Amino acid sequence: MATARLTTTLCGLSLPSPVLAASGTFGYGVEFENLVDWRWIGGFVVKGLSREPIAGNPPPRLWETASGMINSVGLQNIGVRAFVRDKLPGIRRLGVAAFANVFGYCVDDYLEVLRVLEDAEGLAGYELNVSCPNTRHGGIYFSSDPGLLANLVAAARRVARRPLIVKLSPNVASIAPLAKAAEESGADALSLINTLIALAVDARSRRPRLGAGFGGLSGPAIKPVALRFVWEAVQAVRVPVVGIGGIASGEDAAEFLVAGARAVEVGTANFWDPNATARIARQLDRFLAGQGVRHVSEIVGTLRLEPNRDEQENCHNR
């Protein structure tokens, strides 16, 4: 059982731990039923749901990199109606906070998924995956345009009664305008980062390593980038921020909390250790105890980062 030291609140929800499992790495949750020590997990996010089933990208879909992984699964999923019918009853039996990750290629796609989920019981909230191209606006990504993002979040807010978390992409020049747009349009929280666009090449065949060419880089290699984005988002908004990116240990999780995140999501680590989310929560508890911290909230946002802007500019130009 998670200790009282780890209890937290996210979007008005009381959670036993600030450590959750991230979308795309934890299936629909029910597949992990007998693999995970659920007593330590704060919650989980199911893999992305669309209005219709999606078969995903051609194989190969995964490629291991130095300290990370590139995936090109292609948002494969069974569709929201099959999810409600076949997966949600099992999720309810788990007794753990479950968030539905929702995506689409136009605003109507997102809203239809949300409407179906709103009529079902057993979910704690939603996480909007906005790292998709808006096909009705020339393929511009929701995650890179504050106006498109604001319109999407505002429309979703009108439909969703449950808490609404917006998952932001790192594939942008600046995260602050997007974080603010999501907050001002009704997001209850932000989660970041999603994967970094990446490419793996086979020099012998002169072909990409993945069937779809490009993929999303995740794992320990992206943790420093994720920490930077989380810190910048925390400075820009007042809603809670959930940190994601390369978390493989309890101390990794603590770094995100120190940077200002209220909770974290564990992703790629679940691929090599199905019990990673629970393990990391236990490690975080031991780390806090070793630091003499009575409650996890005591370390949230304690990072003091005041860079000299002249030095920072010079560094960036080297």
pLDDT tens for the 318 residues of the chain, in order: 789 999 999 999 999 999 999 999 999 999 999 999 999 999 999 999 999 999 999 999 999 999 999 999 999 999 999 999 999 999 999 999 999 999 999 999 999 999 999 999 999 999 999 998 877 877 789 999 999 999 999 999 999 999 999 999 999 999 999 999 999 999 999 999 999 999 999 999 999 999 999 999 999 999 999 999 999 999 999 999 999 999 999 999 999 999 999 999 999 999 999 999 999 999 999 999 999 999 999 999 999 987 655 545 555 565
Report the predicted TM-score, pTM, of the whole model to 2 decimal places: 0.94
Assess whether 132 carries a catalytic annotation.
yes
Task: Judge contact between 243 and 189, C-beta under 8 A.
Answer: no
Catalytic residue among 11, 106, 132, 315: 132
How does the average pLDDT of the chain come out, rounded? 95
Burial (0-12, 13-18, 19+ Cβ within 10 Å), 144: middle
Q: Residue ranges of the domains in the chain?
A: 4-316
Q: Count Cβ atoms below 10 Å from residue 184 Cβ, excluding itself.
A: 14
The string of pLDDT tens digits covering residues 275-297 is: 999 999 999 999 999 999 999 99
CATH superfamily of 4-316: Aldolase class I (3.20.20.70)
Q: Are 163 and 126 in contact (CB under 8 A)?
A: yes
Strand, coil or helix: what is 13?
Answer: strand
* The residue type at 5: R
